[in-house]
């Protein structure tokens, strides 16, 4: 680290979703996130208030460099969150926080940057296949919404993708899924992948299953559906979670085929990592490989569930590492 960049520590990093905002400090080159805190977004009127609250509880010098991922498209200065009511100017946020440098990226773009530095113990492999070096990598994850990204090889490094693949149109793979999508289509203007593969989507999928079974749905939230499904104590929740995992397999396979992701598919977000071994036993991997003539192609692609505690913060730290490296590269 050139002496001129030592002053950029400590660095503030964040991972802002539709429900929670996580913050941490990086206090030295190559350091891991420290002083990690999770704050409910609903408790603050914007990221500036949340960050000031976080910084008030730290004892280090005030950070001058900051990067965070946010669950939203990042295109220009103004950001209005899709799954929350925060709206802000990046330029004004930098001035308010008195930062020398601020990077704001899509949360799954940041998460994608964390993938190359995750340890084997940070991952749970589901199914077979082996990662091919120097090939594209796919990433998706369900939480408050559905994030999708990936890494594309570029020289000796990777370029992260920044898109909104969670809003692609959801496809059915069998007659029952077609009926579920038809029920949802009668109630929503667009049945995207996120409409099903998210926390709110899990509830919508449960309601669709209840309607097709001729039953009145219970007033469950996403945690209820997951808990009762894993316990096996509510049959509708069991089939809902199975459908959720199967739909995720379809979307993951489509991503793998689109990117040529022979480097593997990684699954993050707030839902799947909490399922543990139940996800490995789910229909996910079978559906992932169920692509007719390309089933063998997909069977050779490994799929991993990210189990690291705060991978989004690691990714945000890497955003700043790359920026620092760029600033020290001779022209």
How confident is the model over 73-96, as a mean pLDDT? 94
Residue 33 has what DSSP assignment?
P
Q: Which of 17-21, 183-187, 208-212, 244-248 has the lowest mean pLDDT?
A: 17-21
What pLDDT shows up at residue 237? 98
Burial class (CB in 10 A: 0-12, 13-18, 19+), 101: middle
User: Above 50 in pLDDT, residue 249?
Assistant: yes
Report d(CA 322, CA 110) in Å as an integer: 12
What pLDDT shows up at residue 328? 58
Mean pLDDT of the chain: 94
Q: What is the pTM of this model?
A: 0.93
DSSP bridge pairs for 79:
88
Q: CATH classification of 3-113+310-327 is 2.70.210.12, yes or no?
A: no
122-307, what's its fold?
Hexokinase; domain 1 (3.40.367)
What pLDDT shows up at residue 163? 87
CATH 3.40.367.20 domain residues, the chain:
122-307
* CA dist 1 → 7, 26, 67, 247 (Å): 11, 14, 18, 45
Burial class (CB in 10 A: 0-12, 13-18, 19+), 186: exposed
Structure tokens at 72: 């939203």
How confident is the model over 181-199, as a mean pLDDT? 98
pLDDT in tens, 277-320: 999 999 999 999 999 999 999 999 999 999 999 999 999 999 99
> Which is nearest to 147 in space by CA: 119, 117, 105?
105
Geometric angle at alpha carbon 203, from 250 and 111, rounded to 5°: 55
CB 145 within 8 A of CB 107: no
Q: Is 261 left (phi over 0), alpha (psi -120 to 50) or beta?
A: beta
Report d(CA 313, CA 318) in Å as an integer: 9
């Amino acid at each position: 680290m050139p002496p001129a960049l030592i002053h950029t520590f400590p660095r503030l990093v964040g991972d802002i979703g539709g429900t929670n905002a996580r913050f941490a400090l990086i206090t030295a080159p190559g350091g891991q996130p420290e002083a990690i805190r999770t704050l409910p977004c609903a408790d603050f009127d914007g990221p500036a208030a949340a960050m000031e609250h976080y910084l008030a509880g730290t004892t280090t010098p005030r950070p001058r460099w900051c990067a965070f991922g946010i669950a939203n498209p990042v295109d220009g200065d103004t950001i209005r969150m899709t799954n929350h009511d925060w709206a802000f100017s990046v330029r004004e946020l930098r001035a308010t926080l008195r930062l020398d440098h601020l990077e704001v990226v899509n949360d799954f773009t940041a998460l994608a940057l964390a993938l190359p530095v995750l340890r084997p113990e940070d991952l749970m492999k589901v199914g077979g296949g082996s990662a091919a070096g120097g090939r594209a990598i796919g990433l998706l994850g369900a939480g408050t919404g559905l994030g999708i990204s990936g890494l594309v090889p570029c020289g000796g490094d990777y370029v992260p993708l920044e898109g909104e693949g969670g809003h692609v149109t959801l496809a059915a793979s069998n007659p029952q899924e077609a009926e579920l999508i038809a029920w949802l289509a009668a109630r929503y203007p667009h049945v995207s992948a996120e409409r099903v593969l998210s926390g709110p989507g899990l509830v919508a999928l449960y309601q669709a299953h209840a309607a097709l079974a001729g039953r009145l749905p219970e007033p469950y939230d996403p945690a209820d559906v997951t808990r009762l499904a894993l316990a096996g104590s509510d049959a509708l929740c069991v089939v809902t979670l199975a459908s959720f995992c199967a739909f995720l397999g379809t979307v993951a396979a489509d991503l793998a085929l689109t990117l040529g992701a022979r480097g593997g598919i990684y699954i993050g977000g707030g839902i799947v990592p909490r399922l543990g071994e139940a996800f490995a036993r789910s229909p996910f991997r079978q559906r992932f490989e169920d692509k007719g003539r390309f089933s063998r192609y997909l069977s050779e692609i490994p799929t991993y569930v990210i189990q690291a505690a705060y991978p989004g913060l690691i990714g945000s730290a890497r955003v700043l590492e790359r920026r620092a490296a760029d600033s020290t590269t001779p022209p």
